[in-house]
Amino acid sequence: MQFATIAPSLANIRAGQLRALVTSGSKRVAALPEVPTVAESGIAGYEAALWVSLVAPSATPPAILARLNRDVNEILESADGNEAMIAQGMAPEPGRPDAVTARIRTDIEKWRAGVTQGGIRPSEYCRRSRDAACYLRIPAAPKQRRRRETWNRFLG
């Protein structure tokens, strides 16, 4: 058994080499409509979805953000863009930048609550660095560490 993202697993699922039991999002995946969600399978309220977003530095001028947002939404709303995303097991969600900010904040609260409820404790290094990956005690390469430090600065 494995927990995997859909895109790299989809070809094997379709070839019958893997059997998808459930998906972890709140809705069924268009590329695998026959596969139920975890919630539909008996764990009410379960949702742990992978999502992808385009982000920019906070100092990016509003005009550039507006143009990027408009162009990306146009691609996601196009038939070709929509089909390409679905073929990879993703669900395009065009929208405004503030929706991404809200999603990030909601996910932070959700996972913070899960960590707290689960009694997961950081190591001493993690208490000093506030490095989110420490909760899983994953060693980080320098490039990954810089990304996490940027993320942690965002979290404030």
Digit-coded pLDDT (tens) for 20-77: 999 998 899 988 999 999 999 999 988 888 888 988 998 999 999 999 999 999 999 9
Prediction pTM value: 0.65
Q: Do 24 and 37 contact (CB within 8 A), yes or no?
A: yes
Domain topology for 1-50: D-Maltodextrin-Binding Protein; domain 2 (3.40.190)
- 78-132 pLDDT, tens digit per residue, is 999 999 988 888 889 999 999 999 999 999 888 888 888 887 766 655 666 655 5
In the chain, where the domains are located: 1-50, 53-119, 121-156
